[in-house]
Amino acid sequence: MRKERFVIGQVLGHCRVLAKIGEGGMGVVYRAHDEVLHRDVALKVVKKDARLDSSAGQNLLLEARASSSLAHPNICTIHEVGETDGELYIVMEFIEGKSLHDMIGDTGLPPESVLRYGVQIASALSRAHDRGIVHRDLKAANIVITSDGLVKVLDFGLARRVRGPVLDGATRSFETAQDSSTLSGTVSYMPPEVLRGEAVDYRSDLWALGVVLYEAASGRLPFEGRTGFEIGSAIMHQQPKPLGPPVPPGLWATIQRCLAKEPSQRYQRASEVQAALETVQSAAIVSADSGPDRNIGPRTTVLHGVRHVRVKRGDFLLLVGTTKGAFFLRSNAQCSRWEVGGPYFHGHAVYAMAYDGRGGQHRIWASTHSYWGTLLRSSDDFGKSWTNPREAPIRFPADSGVCLKNIWQITPGPPDEPSVLYCGVEPAALFETRDSGETWSLVRGLFDHPHRPRWMPGNGGLALHTILLDPSEKQRIYVAISAGGVYRTEDGGCTWTAQNRGIRVVFMPGKFPEFGQCVHKIAMHPSRPGRLFLQNHWGLYRSDNRAEDWTDIANEVPSDFGFALVMHPKNPECAYIIPVESDEFRCACEGRLRVYRTRNAGASWEPLTRGLPQKGAYETVLRDAMTADSLDPVGIYFGTRSGQLFGSRDEGKSWQKLLEGLPAIVCVKTAFVEDASAGSAVTLPRASVAATVRSKSGATTKSRRTRIKKR
């Protein structure tokens, strides 16, 4: 056994050593009594063999002295630093309590406690950072909670000059340097920039704070592995598993931002983290599950008095969102008619709907907007019951300073990631879920974009209304914002660039700004994802180079003002628009309801009018109120603000009114209900609406055997 440098009863300075209370990689800690000031203190003596480099001893002394200036209720006070017989010693506040590490347990702490401790830790970091001191070894073992709930952060500034990854706790972290668990435990708090060997700054402490909060909230570390290498790999490449209830979304959002891989994407100050946690804390309750009557209130709502459609495999659905509720139209070839279900969400505006058949599910998503806020809901039984979340699943984090007004777009993620979805919302922002909608997080890379403060609301508000995922490159996503323009990410949402070169604006002095365009809709062809079409607030454009440049293609159209735009799902040369007369008179040109189609990528456009009213039809078709199906031949559908729903099953040659008398239509989507678990179209009933055939291009498509009949 190594001989102790100090023995019980010995006096060092004016402190009498009372007992050894611990030993770490850097030194031995004693309980001592200050015989001048009559108080107990912790006395840390740094080991001579503590792997300090040649100059580190002096630096450590200087830093310990700097740290001693950190008078803060949540920082363990350093009373005195000195040197005796070539050994450094530090006299610090003696704290009685338990380490946060010991308190957390297997399931974590209640959210109220996490917030209460988190605010204090952030406050301590804020003070230190303001003094230019970075902790560098913040971890649950370095945080002590006193019996009255006061947080004390230990070891400020003491870790900096110790070589290698094994850093020591001063008074409560007593593992030995040789203990591999210590190594793993410390690596778990290291940010990616440390693992990359890059410069460290105060934002590294904010990463560690995120790890501590995650650990405290869940009882587990966000990045785990059996070895330090595995942990490091997880830190570099993986996202932490989302934290759902009882962890409040605001707390989870705060943690996520602390754990951004790039320091620039994190909070930039500890005071920001503190403010975010305080805002979550100040919410009247921290969790929907924390009330005593937490079982009161439905998780799902069964809608009574609503006519439901009876959906079978092979059926085709139109999902119609209106300003006063949603409707389903089911096509049944056997009956040769449309069956109508609804209204769902009576009186609520439904601006976004989507069908998600990935992973064997048959889920319909809808956003609802009313007096009572905006909610995202889903149904797995074609509308018979809907989720009715107690807590709004999409909500801006507490520190954002904004609140959700509406959800404009719901976009399922890649086919092989059925738990991933995106939502575009107002005010303009993108939300993402990776657990099938249980928890949603704000895509901070876009929200924190320096352009965002200069985006301007259009007539419909400042909305992110379109999300396009590139099927050839999973990390590439396009969004369209009115009025902000087109933005693209190449790294899955971490960073975004404005992609508006060539798109004109008419409401700003400069006609071709970098951003700020009022883009009404963009569309991409899945077989040629580098090609996009764009309907602007005045202007019709195409890009063939992933939105690097846009070319005006408003050739032979009565107006280049409009909202709706869809692409032919099989022909990348073909797109459909419905022009409106002008910004001031947003109605079909000359009172003639005409769909325009190009079959040569915009070189020319042809009107499609057969079956559409051509006199006194002052109709408006909004940006999400037109859609195409994937059948063969392709069907095109659109709804008007006057509540009429039109459809064409022959690619636009002829049209039929499917339904009228609806509230103003704001959203039309399609769904082909096949057995997704089989991975292809199912064997259909004899007279079914669709059958699987091989198209000329070789793609598997569903052919249409029957024609639509007016209901």
Partner 1 sequence: MPVTFHIPGPLRQFTGGHSKVEIERSPTTLADALSALWSLHPGLRDRIANELGQVREHINIFIGDTDVRYTGGMTSPIQAGSEISIVPAISGG
Say if residue 380 is exposed, middle or buried (CB neighbours under 10 Å; 0-12, 13-18, 19+): middle
Radius of gyration of the chain (CA): 31
Q: Is 305 in the site for partner 1 (CB under 8 A)?
A: no
Closest approach of partner 1 to the CB of residue 279, in Å: 8
Q: Is 111 in the site for partner 1 (CB under 8 A)?
A: no
As a whole number of angstroms, the distance between CA 344 and CA 273 comes to 40
Mark the segment that binds partner 1 (CB under 8 A) among 39-47, 402-410, 417-425, 452-460: 402-410
Nearest one of 92, 117, 123, 124 to 103, comparing CA atoms: 117
Closer of 146 and 370 to partner 1 (Cβ): 370
Q: Is 391 in the site for partner 1 (CB under 8 A)?
A: yes
Mark the segment that binds partner 1 (CB under 8 A) among 128-136, 235-243, 387-395, 644-652: 387-395
Task: Find the binding residues for partner 1 in span 417-456 (CB under 8 A).
Answer: none
Closest approach of partner 1 to the CB of residue 624, in Å: 19
Closest approach of partner 1 to the CB of residue 286, in Å: 10
Closest approach of partner 1 to the CB of residue 442, in Å: 11
Closer of 278 and 544 to partner 1 (Cβ): 278
Nearest one of 144, 118, 121 to 29, comparing CA atoms: 144
Mark the segment that binds partner 1 (CB under 8 A) among 325-333, 370-378, 506-514, 621-629: 370-378
Q: Is 544 in the site for partner 1 (CB under 8 A)?
A: no
* Residue 475, helix vs strand vs coil: coil
Task: Find the binding residues for partner 1 in span 241-270 (CB under 8 A).
Answer: 250
Q: What are φ and ψ of residue 357, in 5° steps?
A: -105, 15
The 189-218 contact track toward partner 1, x by CB under 8 A, reads ------------------------------
As a whole number of angstroms, the distance between CA 277 and CA 292 comes to 23
Using CB under 8 A, which of 373, 414, 415, 616 touches partner 1? 373
Q: Is 509 in the site for partner 1 (CB under 8 A)?
A: no
As a whole number of angstroms, the distance between CA 343 and CA 364 comes to 15
Using CB under 8 A, which of 265, 361, 388, 654 touches partner 1? 388
Q: Cβ atoms within 10 A of the Cβ of 260, count?
A: 21
Mark the segment that binds partner 1 (CB under 8 A) among 223-231, 395-403, 502-510, 579-587: 395-403
Residue whose pair of structure tokens reads 């005071």 in the numeric block:
271
Render 199-249 in DSSP notation, one character per residue.
Answer: ---HHHHHHHHHHHHHHHHHSS-SS--SSHHHHHHHHHH-PPPPP-TTS-H
What 8-state DSSP symbol labels residue 52?
Answer: B
Using CB under 8 A, which of 230, 278, 289, 675 touches partner 1? 289
Tell me the two tokens of residue 263: 């320091």
Using CB under 8 A, which of 1, 36, 71, 284 touches partner 1? 284
The residue type of 157 is G
Partnered with residue 487 across adjacent β-strands are: 479, 498
Per the CB < 8 A criterion, the answer to whether 192 and 210 are in contact is no
Per the CB < 8 A criterion, the answer to whether 193 and 83 are in contact is no
Using CB under 8 A, which of 301, 497, 604, 703 touches partner 1? 301
Those residues with Cβ within 8 angstroms of residue 529's Cβ, 6 or more apart along the chain or in another chain: 470, 471, 472, 473, 476, 546
Using CB under 8 A, which of 103, 288, 456, 682 touches partner 1? 288
Helix and strand element counts for the chain (H, E): 10, 41
Q: Is 406 in the site for partner 1 (CB under 8 A)?
A: no
Strand ranges across the sheet with 485-489: 463-469, 477-482, 485-489, 497-498
Using CB under 8 A, which of 401, 450, 509, 679 touches partner 1? 401
Q: How many residues bind partner 1 (CB under 8 A)?
A: 34
Q: Is 392 in the site for partner 1 (CB under 8 A)?
A: yes
Residue whose pair of structure tokens reads 């969102």 in the numeric block:
321
The 327-356 contact track toward partner 1, x by CB under 8 A, reads ------------------------------
Closest approach of partner 1 to the CB of residue 531, in Å: 38
- Rounded to the nearest 5 degrees, what angle is found at the Cα of 361, between the Cα atoms of 359 and 364? 125
The β-bridge relationship of strands 421-426 and 429-433 is: antiparallel
The residue type of 696 is K
Those residues with Cβ within 8 angstroms of residue 190's Cβ, 6 or more apart along the chain or in another chain: 165, 208, 232, 235
Using CB under 8 A, which of 134, 183, 234, 398 touches partner 1? 398
As a whole number of angstroms, the distance between CA 211 and CA 220 comes to 9
Q: Is 396 in the site for partner 1 (CB under 8 A)?
A: yes
Using CB under 8 A, which of 372, 510, 511, 680 touches partner 1? 372
Tell me the two tokens of residue 366: 């809808």
Closer of 351 and 550 to partner 1 (Cβ): 351
Using CB under 8 A, which of 7, 11, 37, 403 touches partner 1? 403
Closest approach of partner 1 to the CB of residue 405, in Å: 9
The residue type of 114 is V
Q: Is 693 in the site for partner 1 (CB under 8 A)?
A: no
Mark the segment that binds partner 1 (CB under 8 A) among 156-164, 188-196, 277-285, 502-510: 277-285
Site residues (CB under 8 A) for partner 1?
A: 250, 282-285, 287-294, 296-298, 301, 323, 371-373, 388, 390-392, 395-398, 400-404
